[in-house]
Amino acid sequence: MIKVNGLHAGYDLVNVLRDVTIEIGNGEIVAVLGSNGVGKTTLNNTLSGLIKPTSGEIYFDNVLISGRDPVEIVEMGLIHVPEGRKLFPNLSVKENLELGSYRRGKLNRATNFERVLEIFPKLKDRIRQTAGTLSGGEQQMVAIGRGLMSDPRILLLDEPSLGLSPLLVEQMFTLIKQINDDGLSIILVEQNVIQSLAIADRAYVLEGGTVSLSGRADELKENSNLKKSYLGL
Does residue number 59 form part of the binding site for another protein (CB under 8 A)?
A: no
Does residue number 102 form part of the binding site for another protein (CB under 8 A)?
A: yes
* CA angle, 180 then 186 then 192, to 5°: 100
Among 6, 52, 55, 86, binds another protein (CB under 8 A): 86
Provide, rounded to whole angstroms, the least separation between the CB of residue 144 and another protein: 13
Provide, rounded to whole angstroms, the least separation between the CB of residue 64 and another protein: 19
Does residue number 50 form part of the binding site for another protein (CB under 8 A)?
A: yes
Q: List beta partners, residue 9.
A: 17
Does residue number 79 form part of the binding site for another protein (CB under 8 A)?
A: yes
Among 88, 169, 175, 177, binds another protein (CB under 8 A): 88
Does residue number 90 form part of the binding site for another protein (CB under 8 A)?
A: yes
Does residue number 57 form part of the binding site for another protein (CB under 8 A)?
A: no
Provide, rounded to whole angstroms, the least separation between the CB of residue 157 and another protein: 12
Does residue number 54 form part of the binding site for another protein (CB under 8 A)?
A: no
Does residue number 163 form part of the binding site for another protein (CB under 8 A)?
A: no
Does residue number 162 form part of the binding site for another protein (CB under 8 A)?
A: no
The Cα 118–Cα 188 span in angstroms is 22
Nearer to another protein, 85 or 153 (CB): 85
